[in-house]
Chain A
């Protein structure tokens, strides 16, 4: 802060952004202390959507908790289930058939596409452009149709089971996915022409909302926020799980650390996810989709484990401690949105209201994932 700014008499006022506000995408409340249109302090107030998911994990059997996992980050529900299922499988020592692993990766990456497309539209709404949302929803709708055909759900999927997945995919799904990928690939230039090259969009994103790698490290921000700050950290590469080591994909990194970098990271991830899905479809072997002899009431041996997956928003971690009964002794969920939001207070200081909301939008927050 310049000397001049410090010596000027400061008259601030408090403005309540949310819990009902168009820019917060849910019940997030931010207590803004404003100096004119500049933000002096922004204090996120969370917990409006708290449903005690962690405690529920300790009160329910492992299988009964599965549907809960889809209701935290409901925009990218597959990843939460993936993390939880993998953690419990590691605890119980269950091996998953290869075909099931492929199906998990395909559906998870489809979900990542859906999540990023939704984000791109919602981010543009935060910036005041309404039309791109309808286009991204058109694409997302097709993903949801595909996923509905195998999982039976359109949003809160509960598809993965301990030891595999509950339904095998059919040829129709495979053909539909390939068709969708070629369609989305042909639409990417349109998105870039409509949004990325738009002069107003560039002005609103380039150099706006800097989040440095140091900020990310201090607050534990992961995912596109971290990769948009120039750190090539992706759980799929750093701690490979499932069949990701067998697949060839890049981790898009942009060192600019601004909203544009985070936008471009997500747009590139859409392309990379399409590559992953295509490779996985090509390599997918035949075989069972469910491990044999998985007991109905799972009683993992005493022990604990931590399992990390790369969700659409960053690293989603599950720490499960088993005391040998059919319920987890402790279940800790590490939500990427919580860490990504926590840096908002520091990074938004001194920004203009409109820019801070662009920054907030670029974090890609799903509020129930923060509140859990």
Chain B
């Protein structure tokens, strides 16, 4: 009987976590999209949404309803199965990544020993989804974007992985919970300032941040969307909730990227001054990174496509390799 009870409890827990994570991802997509309009409106001498609800708080609901009521049009000549599958393939991995993220000491869906690896495996899938979506659209602009997304993501996954490998060498763990615990006790213990492991640690964080922007196809690296060149890139032919899912996935990817940045480099749920650790510190750090992502988008023009590849192959990868070497040497010496 006890085993049975455990089993039922486990099922209930699973459902709760699944619902919780999907709700978290959807909530973030909705309200980050509101912030995406509100924050630039502060820079740009305008109000942003303010009609639907107080301070425009119901705007995401209105947007969601609008997208749901729209017909999902499929272009003649498009590959219908892939066309409809692509948004799902983009949004599910993004939500799956959240499963291993420890939000605080106790709040984590699955505390896996290989959590970091799981996140990287899943975050690589959305590239395939975007590519399929662009290719299946039977649209020349979307095809160009599909080709771009592959080249871009290959270029940026390498420095990202190099930085991660160096970090894993320092922390001796793929477990995100362990990695956070090592950073307890003030901001000078955070990995971003762990200069004893490698003097290039702050640079590694910047590389991580740039790669995260490129991985989630955010401006100034939004080659996939590039609205002034490719109209809406890979998403040109998508209407209604098909487009909406890409949209949710974009923000879910930002949340995952920022959460991971917080965990790996900024001490997760630990307070910078060793006070009151908890969920709130995690959220503060994560949303600060999200704010920076939005801030960057509205401040910079888009890079050229080859400029983006040059940055990765000529700057980020050599620096990340140097960082890896230095880390290895320091580990051996200390």
Contacts and interface: CB of A to CB of B under 8 A. Distances in A.
Interface of A: 13, 15, 21-23, 36-37, 124-131, 134-135, 138, 194, 198, 200-201, 203-204, 352-355, 357
Given A357-B228, A357-B229, A13 B303 contact: no
Contacts of B226: 128, 354
22 contacts: A15-B140, A22-B228, A22-B231, A36-B147, A37-B147, A37-B148, A127-B228, A128-B219, A128-B228, A128-B301, A128-B302, A129-B300, A130-B40, A131-B43, A134-B44, A198-B301, A200-B307, A203-B303, A203-B304, A352-B306, A353-B229, A354-B302
A90 B227 CA distance: 48
Interface string B214-230: 00000110100011110
Contacts of B314: none
B299 interface: yes
Contact of A354 (B45, B141, B229, B300): B229
Most A Cβ at <10 Å: residue of B141, B229, B302, B303: B229
Given A21-B231, A37-B144, A355-B304, 16 more contacts: A22-B231, A128-B220, A128-B228, A129-B301, A130-B44, A131-B40, A135-B44, A138-B45, A194-B299, A198-B301, A200-B301, A200-B302, A203-B303, A203-B304, A203-B307, A204-B301
Interface of B: 40, 43-46, 140-141, 144, 147-148, 219-220, 222, 226-229, 231, 298-307
A204 B304 contact: yes
B144 A353 contact: yes
Most B Cβ at <10 Å: residue of A21, A129, A194: A129
Nearest to A130: B298
A357 B144 CA distance: 15
Contacts of A352: 304-306
A204 B298 contact: no
Most A Cβ at <10 Å: residue of B141, B299, B304: B304
B301 A354 contact: no
State the majority secondary structure of interface residues on A: helix
Contacts of B44: 130-131, 134-135
A172 B207 CA distance: 55
B222 to A, nearest CB: 7
Nearest to B304: A354
Contacts of A135: 44-45
B209 to A, nearest CB: 16
A176 to B, nearest CB: 20
Nearest to B298: A131
A128 B307 contact: no
A16 to B, nearest CB: 8
Contacts of A131: 40, 43-44, 298-299
A299 to B, nearest CB: 50
A22 B227 contact: yes
A140 B296 CA distance: 25
A198 B300 contact: yes
A32 to B, nearest CB: 10
A307 B75 CA distance: 52
Contacts of A201: 301
Contacts of A198: 300-301
B305 A37 contact: yes
B141 A15 contact: yes
Contacts of A200: 220, 300-303, 307
Contacts of B222: 128
A36 B144 CA distance: 8
Contacts of A354: 226, 229, 302, 304-305
A80 to B, nearest CB: 28
* Closest A-B pairs by Cβ, 9 of them: A128-B302, A129-B301, A134-B44, A127-B301, A128-B301, A15-B140, A23-B228, A126-B228, A354-B229
Nearest to A194: B299
Nearest to A129: B301
A134 B45 contact: yes
Contacts of B304: 203-204, 352, 354-355
Contacts of A22: 227-228, 231
Contacts of A125: 228
Contacts of A37: 144, 147-148, 305
Contacts of A194: 299
Nearest to A134: B44
A204 B307 contact: yes
A127 B302 contact: yes
A36 B145 CA distance: 11
A28 to B, nearest CB: 14
Contacts of B228: 22-23, 125-128, 357
A95 B231 CA distance: 51
